[in-house]
Amino acid sequence: MAQSFDIFLASGSPRRRELLTREGVDFSVRTAEVDEYLTIDERRDPEQAAKSLAERKARASVEALLNQDGYTGMAAVIAADTMVVLDGEIYGKPVDEDDAMRMLGELSGRTHQVITGVSVWLMHAPADNPEELSLGFRSFAETSHVRFKDLDEGIIAWYVGTGEPMDKAGAYGIQGLGGDLVADVRGDFDNVVGLPVKRLVADFADVFGLEE
């Protein structure tokens, strides 16, 4: 694959790295701290919230590349944010085991949405003239629908005890032991894991060197 851009993934998530690697994309990881706070308006519109968080993550990474790393060249910076939504309410990562138990109890036997917002920032930072920086971005949100089996308290307590839920939106990982909690998935499976990588690569074919 002939890539005309340097590609940076602004993510600490090992799942996102694996998914992008699987598509054959050559990239580096450049994470930067962001505040994941959502406004009331963003909470009312989960797709917008996911895009907005992805945009913040990518922008922070762009700023770090330019201001801390002194990056020059043509780059695409990719970030994503995944959230679970049940009855319009956003579920992020559980704060503790009780929170994980609560989330899984609420998801039991029902269908929820998993929304991943993706933001891709394109920048050109000329080495000879830093004043001529050009920067732009495009974002999208992808939604998958996941139906949970009926879960009894014993299963939920066992699953939380494995530790798997703690760093994951909605307190489960469909790609791991959490796959056994799931009855059915409609939509993109990778999107549930954290990155709708097929759509990302298709929508940004020029960036990934898939077009002449």
Q: List interacting residues with ligand TTP (CB under 6 A).
A: 11-13, 15-16, 31, 57, 80-82, 84, 93, 114, 167-170, 172-175, 178, 192-194
- Three-state SS at 87: coil
- Write down the least CB distance from residue 121 to ligand TTP, Å: 14
Q: What single letter denotes the amino acid at residue 93? A: K
**Residue 81: active-site member:** yes
Beta-carbon contacts of residue 127 (< 8 Å; ≥ 6 apart): 72, 73
- Write down the least CB distance from residue 169 to ligand TTP, Å: 4
* Number of other residues whose CB lies within 10 A of the CB of residue 13: 19
Output 72 or 137, the one with its CB closest to ligand TTP.
137
Contact criterion met (CB below 8 Å) for 117 and 99: no
Distance CA(28)–CA(44), nearest Å, equals 34
- Write down the least CB distance from residue 17 to ligand TTP, Å: 9
Q: From the candidates 35, 69, 81, 99, give the one annotated as an active-site residue.
A: 81
Distance CA(162)–CA(143), nearest Å, equals 27
Task: Show which residues are catalytic.
Answer: 81
